Amino acid sequence: MVLARSTVLSIAVLVLALAGCDQNTVETQAPDTAPAPVAEAEPAAPPPAEPVPAAIPPLTELPVNSVDSVMLSRPQDAPSAMIIRVLGTAASNGWSLPKLEPMVEEGSDASIVSYKFVATSPEAASDDPNPTPEQIETELLVDSLPAEVMTIRIVSATNEVSAPVAQ
């Protein structure tokens, strides 16, 4: 009986081994059809050209590119006066005559006084496509600041900076 069991087991193992050898995997199967053709990508359209900024006419007064800092101080000999010092960045070299121009805004808050930081463009137009920014600064002495003013706001072409007024 032991011999019969061992023979049956041997035959079962042999049948299972042969059954396992007959299976094809995905990697070994022959393709039934030709592979699908690969679509060729059309060349991408170039991105739209960035608009070229209009040239700035020489000697034109315009807002400075950005305000970097605002400093307020009071002169010792005139405590009701205020000195406003502003540091900013011009878009290129050669900007001159920087100044602060008062901004009048209807319906604005009386506790905020606003100035626009402007300068005069260079005498000659630059042909440089990548101009180098230049630091520019100005100072304004305000003889008398109303008591309700709590903030000085400086506005440029791209940003604005506010500074609190110390009483």
The CA distance from 142 to 145, in Å, is 7
Residue 14 has a pLDDT of 57
84: exposed, middle or buried (Cβ count in 10 Å: 0-12, 13-18, 19+): buried
pLDDT band at 88 (very low <50, low <70, confident <90, very high): very high
On average, the pLDDT of the chain sits at 81
Q: Which two tokens stand for residue 156?
A: 């440029």
Task: Note whether 141 and 83 are within 8 A (CB).
Answer: yes
pLDDT higher for 10 or 84?
84
Cβ-in-10-Å burial (0-12, 13-18, 19+) of 127 comes to exposed
Q: Are 117 and 86 in contact (CB under 8 A)?
A: yes
Q: What are phi and psi of 33, to 5 degrees?
A: -130, 165
* pLDDT level of residue 24 (50, 70, 90 thresholds): low
Domain ranges of the chain: 61-124+131-164
